[in-house]
């Protein structure tokens, strides 16, 4: 069975399409995790059923390592699934998806280990597990309890596969840059490093050395003001997009190490306030 | 007699919650059965990651019939009285019986409730168990309103093999359950508990938590022996893993040799805390380049893939650790202090670096008073928090202090300094090890003094369940530390020093207590903790501590107080103590009454020449010999001997009360005897305030 990076993604798309998910594209703005995509954050709220799946490239400026660390990345990829309401057999469906991409639970040791999830910037939290494959965390499995400070009713199940880790387990590879991105047979073979190494190197240099902190802080304040303006004008999706921008700009400032502990907590609080207003507006318009 | 088997089958229950949940299910089932008047012989509960089970043996098939009689007004009572009674009882006049009693004819309501089938009662008990059960954290799922620790996916409830029907969380109770998630996922039918336990085992589930735990211990030891090693003892890890698997299989994985140059705790922390692996030791108790891992199944290639996978994960973790180890040591440990300037200790109490500066001053002052080398202590204090800014502690917070110690050692700090950096966090858990070396002890004490004084002074004190800065633990640790006999300073005095170390004029807290107030508040708080600690530690009842505190001088040390309480515990455990106490009570009762009557206090001025009876003479002689001795012994801190001496008074006291009448007609004799009683009271008070003791 083929386990290169892109085949695993294609298989997951196929699998979740068969389970009734709408297959979406990544959100086209910088985000730190698949959860931030409006198809998860906003759609998790409200009474309407919703099933979606998509890849989300996720940027974590503080985790950049100039392409030198075998496991840590400025940008990794998450495969994100949201099922609302959570189906009764959601664990079984998830395990079926592992088999579908070639991870046989009779060969590997698959375990559900307690890990409650919380996003202080989104004011969101849930209960669940990290799923382990032979001691490696391969998925975050969460039953959302609240988002933006609002209780989720019905409760969605969120599955977030860490694609690099998952594929590492499947390929038995240690260094992420050695993973096969496409099929290793044939002339067009590309590794993860071929595709992504330059980005890791340059964006690490950007976020640790060249990001202009005062300029980014100005951008943060602009994004915040824009978000508020859009909330006032009841444009929930554009407003939320500017909340995401503020969140990413905060991540950049954080990676740059220019925020003191108090400023850091304060800035997180400002992003959370934006997220809350967006969610509130979403609920008012009962878009859920 | 019938057997009820009830299983709540769910998604994976967090390991740390399992032992308490098993206990709670037992207590709750017991309470509900009692409430419904269902007698039983035994209740046993079980827990695995996916099921919480109770089995009740020896139930009757029916509950006992209940006959209730309610007496009403007399038959000839006023119509309004009768009407009122009927209304409260919810019956009509025709439902009442008339009964003759010695006081006349009365109305009675008689309720006869026949016994109900046990099955019917259990149908009500089962859902109410689920409703009343409390998890530390619970959740909702799907579109349901119920909560549980994780979604419930099955309910098995059978009474002697027959389904006890009820529904909950959208599920109907049945006689079916499931086995191991991967090895035996298909549902199967269960007849009774014995059948259940056996079939579970056939389906790769060991129901009993302790059995799993023992098996894990045995298997890890066995596979370790195969490579001539033994697992490091770690009962907390064993407990946790027992709650992570239903079918434990042990394997051994290898650690790359080049990582073995890292300090042992840097290797074992990611192993234990992050991966739940068991570190393995060689015959010299040195960490070996292997680890034990418990899998939840064997793996279809006999574990080859599982072992390789786990080795790979550990390698990545250790590669991180190796990187941090090298990075952190590129600069002197002291340089990390710069980063502490932007880390808050508390918004109103300054940065972590401010705390470090206070610790230098405070621990130096203490060192000078207890005869330790102040230079070493100051150096240790200066470096004590530096590792909090290191990359290693950032990634593995459990290594705080430990990394500081390693780095200090490698950079040529004095061994006492390196040791104090690690040990100033001790005791790590309640009842944990106390540092022996003086610099470690002083720094550990200074750290707690600083936190307690700081927070109490600005009005942050633990209340109810709220104690965000873990001040209760700090208090208990401070007491445990100051019980070390090397620390001979008065607690009240050093609390004052801690207060003085804060630059209060530069800080601007919204509330600032005076030194006197703050010291007194912390002292009272510590005394409460002290009572608690002594009761938990050596089983001393609160009243013993109160009795000792009642006569302690103004600036006691906790070690002195603890010794006194211990000696008193021993005395009061025996007959001598109990007799002395009743003699004391008798003496003080008499004195209280007579002093009030005479409007004068008796203080023990006995006139030897007035003594008449041999029993009072003997008591006086003994008191005059022993009282100064006891005083002397107490002053020297020899409480055990002081209390032993006190106990030798008992026969004389007993005989005195047997033979001597205090309130005689002869005035001189009476007054002298009252003074003798006062002398006895005074002697006892040298050791403890007996009036605080409960008989």
pLDDT-based confidence at A286, cuts 50/70/90? Answer: low
Name the residue with tokens 């059960």: B133
Backbone angles phi, psi at A119, to 5 degrees: -120, 105
pLDDT of residue B552: 76
Report pTM: 0.82
Q: Tell me the H-state helices in B329-437.
A: 337-340, 352-370, 374-383, 391-395, 402-410, 415-423
pLDDT tens-digit series, residues B179-188: 999 999 999 9
CATH number attached to the domain at B2-62+117-202: 3.30.70
**Each residue of A238-266: pLDDT tens digit?**
999 999 999 999 999 998 878 877 788 88
Who wins on pLDDT, B314 or B600?
B314
Restricting to B residues 30-89, those with a Cβ less than 8 Å away from any Cβ of A are 49
- Per-residue pLDDT averaged across B405-431, rounded? 95
Tell me what pLDDT residue A287 has: 61
Residue A227 CA to chain centroid, in angstroms?
21
What confidence tens digit (pLDDT) does each residue in A160-204 have? 999 999 999 999 998 999 999 999 998 899 999 999 999 999 999
ipTM of the complex: 0.95
User: How many CB atoms sit inside 10 A of residue A196's CB?
Assistant: 24
Residue-level pLDDT at A234: 96
Query: Is the pLDDT higher at B343 or at B139?
Result: B139
Of A136, A154, A260, the CB nearest to B342: A260
- Compare CB distances from B299 to A107, A155, A262 and report the shortest one's residue: A107
CB contact (8 A) between residue B300 and residue A260: no
Burial status of residue B297 (CB atoms within 10 A of its CB: 0-12, 13-18, 19 or more): buried
Q: What share of chain B is helix, strand, coil (3-state, %, to 5)?
A: 55, 15, 30
Q: How far apart are the first and last CA of chain A?
A: 39
* Interface mutation target, options B309, B342, B343, B391, chain A, most CBs of A under 10 Å: B309
Write the pLDDT tens digit of every residue in B493-542: 999 999 999 999 998 888 999 999 999 999 999 999 999 989 988 889 99
pLDDT of residue A199: 97
B339 touches chain A (CB under 8 A): no
E strand spans, B28-95: 42-48, 51-59, 66-74
Whose structure tokens read 């979604």? B151
Cis, bond preceding B427 (omega within 30 deg of 0): yes
pLDDT over 90 (residue A229): yes
Q: What gap in Å lies between CA B193 and CA B191, rounded to an integer?
A: 7
Predicted confidence at residue B344, as pLDDT, reads: 82
Q: Which of residues 79-98 of A touch B (CB under 8 A)?
A: 85-88, 91, 95
Record: contact A136-B297, CB cut-off 8 A: no
Which residues of chain B make contact with A126, given a CB cutoff of 8 A?
139
No. of helices (H) and no. of strands (E), chain A: 8, 9
8 Å CB contact between A107 and A115: no
Range B634-655 average pLDDT: 87
| B182 in A contact zone (CB under 8 Å) | yes
pLDDT of residue A86: 98
The structure tokens 């709670």 sit at B24
* Chain region(s) in chain B for CATH 3.30.70: 2-62+117-202
Task: Give B-chain residues touching A254 at CB under 8 angstroms.
Answer: none
Q: Where are the beta strands (DSSP E) in A94-204?
A: 110-114, 117-119, 124-133, 136-147, 150-151, 157-162
Instruction: Give long-range contacts, CB 8 A cutoff, 24+ apart: B364-371.
Output: B365/B497, B366/B442, B366/B445, B366/B446, B366/B489, B366/B494, B366/B497, B367/B438, B367/B439, B367/B442, B369/B489, B370/B438, B370/B442, B370/B486, B370/B487, B370/B488, B370/B489
Do A13 and A53 meet the contact criterion of CB atoms below 8 Å apart?
Answer: yes
d(CA B150, CA B152): 6
A106: nearest CB among B143, B300, B347? B300
Between A70, A112, A262, which is nearest B319 by CB? A70
Minimum distance, in Å, between the CA of residue A218 and any CA atom of chain B: 22
Interchain contact B308–A (C-beta under 8 A): yes
Strands B104-113 and B278-281 come out as: unpaired
Helix or strand (DSSP H, E) at A92: helix A90-100
pLDDT for position B287: 97
* C-alpha B534, offset from chain centre: 13
Q: Do B142 and A110 touch (CB under 8 A)?
A: no
From B341, which residue of chain A is nearest by alpha-carbon distance? A260
When CB atoms are compared, the residue of B49, B141, B305 closest to A155 is B141
CB neighbour burial string for B611-628, b if at least 16 within 10 angstroms, e if fewer: beeebbeebbebbeebbe
Half-sphere exposure of B534 (CA within 13 A, CB side): 27
- The interface residues of chain B toward chain A in range 107-166, judged by CB-CB distance below 8 A, are 137, 139-143, 150-151, 153
Structure tokens at B188: 């199967």
Instruction: Quickly list DSSP for B659-683.
Output: H--SS-S-HHHHHHHHHHHHHHHHH
What distance in Å separates the CA atoms of residue A193 and residue A176, rounded to the nearest whole number? Answer: 8
Residue with structure tokens 């209760």? B472
Percent of chain A with pLDDT over 90: 89
Contact A86 B314 (CB under 8 A): no
pLDDT the model gives residue B138: 96
**Is B236 an interface residue toward A (CB < 8 Å)?**
no
Q: Are A224 and A274 in contact (CB under 8 A)?
A: yes
Other C-beta atoms closer than 10 Å to the C-beta of B34 total 11
Q: Which CATH number fits domain B569-692: 1.10.730.10, 1.10.10.10, 2.60.40.10, 1.10.760.10?
A: 1.10.730.10
Which residues of chain A neighbour B301 with C-beta distances below 8 Å? 107
DSSP, res B691: G
Of B186-200, B264-278, B401-415, B640-654, give the lowest mean pLDDT range.
Answer: B640-654
Query: B472 or A288: whose pLDDT is higher?
Result: B472
pLDDT at A105: 95
Task: Give the residue carrying structure tokens 């007698």.
Answer: B39
pLDDT, greater one: B444 or B642: B444
Are the C-beta atoms of residues B109 and B70 closer than 8 Å to each other? yes
B contacts of A112 (beta carbons < 8 Å): 11-12, 49
**pLDDT at residue B96, rounded to an integer:** 85
Q: What is the pLDDT of residues A93-148, one digit of tens each?
A: 999 999 999 999 999 999 999 999 999 889 899 999 999 999 999 999 999 999 99
Residues of A in contact with B313 (CB under 8 A): 134-136
The answer to whether the Cβ–Cβ distance between A154 and B295 falls below 8 Å is: no
Shortest Cα distance from B146 to chain A (angstroms)? Answer: 12
* C-alpha dihedral sign at A44, A46, A51, A57: negative
Chain B interface mutation, best of A66, A85, A135, A141, highest count of B Cβ atoms under 10 Å: A135
Give residue-wise pLDDT tens across range B13-40.
999 999 999 999 999 999 999 998 899 9
pLDDT in tens, B575-591: 888 888 888 888 888 99
| Residues 159 through 218 of chain A touching chain B, CB cutoff 8 Å | 168-169, 172, 174
- Sketch out chain A's domains with CATH numbers: 5-205 (3.30.930.10), 211-284 (1.20.58.180)
CATH 1.10.730.10 in chain B: give the residue spans: 569-692
Over the stretch B371-400, which tens digit does the pLDDT of each residue have?
999 999 999 999 999 999 999 998 899 999
CB distance from B226 to chain A under 8 Å? no
Distance from CA of B418 to the nearest CA of A (A): 28
How many CB pairs below 8 Å do chains A and B form together?
113
pLDDT at B114: 85
Q: DSSP of B440-489, one letter per residue?
A: HHHHHHHHHHHHHHHHHHTT---BTTB-TT-HHHHHHHHHHHHTSTT--S
Residue of A nearest to B137 (CA): A127
State CA A159 to chain mean position distance: 10
Q: Which residues of B touch A111 (CB under 8 A)?
A: 244-245, 296
Query: Is the pLDDT reported for residue A288 higher than 60?
Result: no
Q: How far apart are CA B461 and CA B479, in angstroms?
A: 17
Task: Tell which of A108, A109, A126, A127 to mutate to test the B interface (max B CBs under 10 Å).
Answer: A109
Distance CA(B434)–CA(B427), nearest Å, equals 5
Q: Nearest CA of chain B to the CA of A161: how many Å?
A: 17
Q: For residue A259, how many C-alpha atoms fall within 13 Å in the half-sphere facing its CB? A: 19
Residue B497 contacts residue B445 (beta carbons within 8 Å):
no
């Amino acid at each position: 069975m083929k386990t290169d990076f892109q085949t695993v993604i294609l298989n997951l798309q196929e699998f979740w399409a068969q389970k009734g998910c709408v297959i979406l594209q990544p959100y086209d703005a910088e985000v730190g995790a698949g959860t931030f995509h409006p198809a998860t954050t906003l759609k998790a709220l409200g009474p309407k059923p919703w099933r979606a799946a998509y890849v989300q490239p996720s940027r974590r400026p503080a985790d950049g390592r100039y392409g030198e660390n075998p496991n840590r990345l400025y940008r990794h990829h998450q495969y994100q699934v949201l099922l609302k309401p959570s189906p009764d057999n959601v664990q079984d469906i998830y395990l079926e998806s592992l088999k579908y991409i070639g991870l046989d639970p009779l060969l590997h040791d698959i375990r559900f280990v307690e890990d409650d999830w919380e996003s202080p910037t989104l004011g969101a939290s849930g209960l669940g597990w990290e799923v382990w494959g032979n001691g490696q965390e391969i998925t975050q499995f969460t039953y959302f309890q609240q988002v933006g400070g609002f209780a989720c009713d019905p409760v969605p199940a969120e599955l977030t596969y860490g694609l690099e880790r998952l594929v590492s387990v499947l390929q038995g590879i240690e260094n992420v840059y050695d993973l096969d991105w496409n099929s290793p047979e044939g002339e067009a073979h590309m590794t993860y490093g071929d595709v992504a190494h330059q980005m890791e190197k340059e964006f690490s240099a950007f976020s640790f050395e060249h990001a202009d902190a005062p300029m980014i802080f100005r951008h943060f304040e602009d994004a915040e003001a824009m978000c508020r303006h859009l909330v006032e004008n009841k444009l929930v999706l554009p407003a939320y997009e500017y909340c995401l921008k503020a969140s990413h700009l905060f991540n950049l400032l954080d990676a740059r190490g220019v925020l003191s502990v108090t400023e850091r907590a304060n800035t997180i609080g400002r992003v959370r306030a934006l997220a809350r207003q967006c969610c509130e507006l979403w609920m008012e318009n009962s878009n859920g | 007699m019938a057997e009820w088997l009830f299983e709540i089958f769910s998604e994976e229950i967090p390991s740390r919650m399992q032992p308490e949940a098993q206990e709670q299910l037992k207590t709750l089932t017991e309470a509900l059965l009692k409430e419904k008047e269902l007698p039983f012989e035994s209740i046993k509960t079980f827990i695995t990651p996916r099921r919480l089970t109770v089995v009740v043996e020896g139930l009757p098939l029916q509950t006992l019939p209940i006959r209730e009689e309610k007496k009403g007004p007399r038959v000839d009572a006023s119509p309004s009285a009768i009407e009122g009674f009927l209304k409260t009882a919810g019956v009509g006049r025709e439902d009442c019986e008339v009964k003759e009693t010695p006081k006349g004819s009365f109305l009675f309501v008689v309720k006869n409730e026949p016994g109900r089938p046990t099955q019917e009662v259990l149908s009500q008990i089962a859902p109410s168990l689920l409703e009343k059960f409390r998890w530390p954290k619970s959740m909702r799922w799907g579109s349901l309103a119920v909560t549980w620790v994780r979604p419930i996916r099955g309910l098995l409830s059978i009474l002697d093999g027959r389904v006890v029907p009820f529904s909950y969380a959208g599920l109907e109770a049945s006689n079916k359950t499931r086995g191991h998630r991967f090895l035996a996922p298909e549902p199967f039918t269960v007849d009774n508990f014995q059948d259940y336990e056996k079939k579970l085992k056939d389906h790769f589930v060991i129901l009993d938590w302790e059995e799993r735990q023992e098996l894990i211990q045995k298997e890890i030891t066995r596979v370790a022996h195969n490579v001539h090693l033994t697992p490091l003892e770690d009962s907390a890890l064993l407990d946790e893993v027992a709650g992570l698997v239903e079918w434990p299989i042990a394997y051994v994985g290898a650690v790359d040799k080049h990582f073995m140059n890292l300090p042992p705790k840097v290797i074992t922390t990611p192993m234990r805390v992050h991966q739940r692996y068991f570190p393995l030791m060689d015959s010299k108790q040195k960490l070996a380049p292997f680890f034990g891992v418990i899998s939840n199944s064997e793996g279809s290639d006999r574990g080859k893939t599982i072992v390789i996978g786990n080795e790979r994960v550990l390698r990545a973790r250790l590669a991180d650790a190796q990187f941090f180890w090298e990075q952190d040591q590129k600069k002197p440990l002291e340089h990390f202090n710069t980063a502490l300037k932007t880390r808050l200790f508390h918004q109103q109490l300054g940065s972590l670096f401010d705390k470090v500066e206070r610790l230098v001053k405070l621990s130096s002052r203490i060192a000078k008073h207890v005869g330790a080398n102040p230079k070493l202590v100051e150096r240790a204090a200066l470096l004590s928090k530096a590792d909090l800014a290191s990359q290693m502690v950032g990634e593995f917070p459990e290594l705080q202090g430990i990394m500081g110690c390693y780095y200090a050692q490698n950079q040529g700090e004095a061994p006492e300094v390196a040791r104090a950096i690690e040990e100033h966090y001790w005791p790590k858990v309640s009842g944990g090890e106390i540092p022996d070396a003086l610099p470690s002890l002083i720094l550990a004490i200074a750290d707690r003094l600083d936190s307690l004084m700081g927070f109490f002074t600005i009005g942050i004190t633990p209340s109810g369940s709220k104690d965000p800065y873990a001040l209760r633990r700090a208090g208990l640790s401070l007491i445990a530390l100051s019980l070390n006999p090397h620390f001979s300073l008065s607690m009240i005095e050093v609390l004052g020093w801690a207060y003085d170390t804060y630059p209060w004029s530069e800080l601007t807290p919204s509330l600032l207590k005076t030194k006197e107030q703050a010291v007194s508040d912390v002292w009272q708080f510590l005394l409460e903790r002290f009572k608690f600690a002594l009761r938990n530690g050596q089983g001393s009842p609160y009243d013993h501590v109160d009795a000792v505190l009642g006569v302690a001088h103004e600036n006691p040390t906790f070690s002195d107080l603890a010794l006194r309480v211990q000696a008193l515990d021993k005395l009061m455990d025996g007959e001598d103590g109990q007799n002395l106490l009743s003699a004391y009570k008798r003496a003080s009762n008499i004195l209280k009454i007579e002093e009030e009557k005479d409007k004068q206090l008796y203080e023990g001025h006995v006139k030897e020449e007035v003594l008449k009876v041999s029993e009072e003479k003997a008591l006086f002689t003994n008191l005059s010999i022993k009282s100064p001795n006891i005083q002397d012994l107490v002053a020297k801190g020899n409480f055990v001997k002081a209390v032993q001496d006190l106990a030798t008074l008992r026969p004389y006291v007993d005989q005195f009360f047997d033979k001597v009448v205090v309130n005689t007609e002869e005035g001189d004799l009476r007054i002298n005897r009252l003074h003798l009683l006062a002398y006895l009271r005074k002697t006892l008070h040298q050791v403890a305030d007996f009036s605080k003791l409960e008989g």
